[in-house]
Amino acid sequence: MRRVLGTSPQVAAMPGELRIIVDPGGLLDLADALSWKWGVWVADTAVYQFITMLGHVQSDDLVHYPGHDMDLWCGFLERSGYANWRRATESLLYTAEGAGCWAGSHPRKRLYETEPHEVEVILNALAERIYSLYNLRNPHAAIFVEDSPDNMTQILRLNEMFPDMFFIHMVRDPRDIAASYKGHRTRTRAWVSTDFRENVARIRNQHRVWNQQTMTIPEEEKFWLTVRVEDLAADPIDTLLGVCSYLGIDYSSAMADVVRSGEAHVGRFREDLTPDELALVQKELDVPGATYGYNVWEV
């Protein structure tokens, strides 16, 4: 969806996943450490982790990570003024830097001195830094798109940081998700397990966390749009018209062209999963699938 919406001049979309908001050590963890979880060493560690993360997004390991467009992402950072943005962001996080260490501190034996903030204040300040980063990408955009996979497990926290956000919840036949994990194991570095059961458990747990966060929200207060991958592949124009209406942006034929140029791999489970693997998916992911209209028993 990032590539699809990124064709619009009203949208700022990065070449790759941002990964500095919901990932461990990212902005959500940092906001906690600088507010309600504040302590001298808690905040010091969080600041160090986040500053380290900002450096890692330009590391050689990420540039050459296959299948995730990280070379495009890092190329954008080099051209965009990211270094200045990074320095300005880091300057907001601590008041001074001096000598200091503790049993679990980072190896440089330095201490970031910080102050505790009100939760809303620090969330707003960090959100503004994200807006300014996307402004480097497209200063005329009305919205920005961020598509890190774990966003679905942090939807309520994200809504605290970005109270005006739109959230597109992309869903897919769980059998095809499980099959895609097998494919990723062979095509890219091992960010998924070699144990198929563990991958199925991950899919189940992601749905469980999503449901725990969203099930008590009344229908009239829901702020997300659910889009099925199969619907997008079968009827990209009508599906994208609905997405654009939800976002308040103009539809263009270039969006549907991006969908048609890709592969949705609908039904790939029929070739990629063994009978035993399919039986496990049917047992473990029956309920999550049925929630979105998938009958995992229908082969």
User: CA–CA separation, 150 vs 171, rounded Å?
Assistant: 13
Sign of CA dihedral 295, 296, 297, 299: positive
Reported as a single tens digit per residue, the pLDDT across 189-229 is 456 778 899 999 999 999 999 999 999 999 899 999 999 99
Whether pLDDT at 63 is above 50: no
Whether pLDDT at 106 is above 70: no
User: CA–CA separation, 169 vs 254, rounded Å?
Assistant: 22
Whether pLDDT at 186 is above 70: no
What pLDDT does residue 25 have? 92
Where along the chain do its domains lie?
Answer: 16-139, 166-299
pLDDT (average), residues 25-49:
94
Reported as a single tens digit per residue, the pLDDT across 71-103 is 455 556 666 678 888 889 999 999 998 877 777
Q: Reduced to 3 states, what is the DSSP secondary structure of residue 15?
A: coil
Whole-model pTM: value is 0.86
Query: Which class is domain 166-299?
Result: alpha beta
Among 51-55, 100-104, 236-240, top mean pLDDT goes to: 236-240
Write out the two tokens for 223: 């702020």
Reported as a single tens digit per residue, the pLDDT across 153-184 is 999 999 999 999 999 999 999 999 999 888 65
Closest to 195 measured CA to CA, from 285, 280, 68, 296: 280
Single-letter amino acid code for the residue at 144:
F
Q: Please list, in sequence order, all residues whose beta carbon lies within 8 angstroms of the beta carbon of residue 127, skipping any fewer than 6 positions away.
A: 161, 162
Q: Reduced to 3 states, what is the DSSP secondary structure of residue 258?
A: helix
174 with 294: CB under 8 angstroms? yes
3-state secondary structure 42-72: HHHHHHHHHHHHHHHCCCHHHHCCCCCCHHH
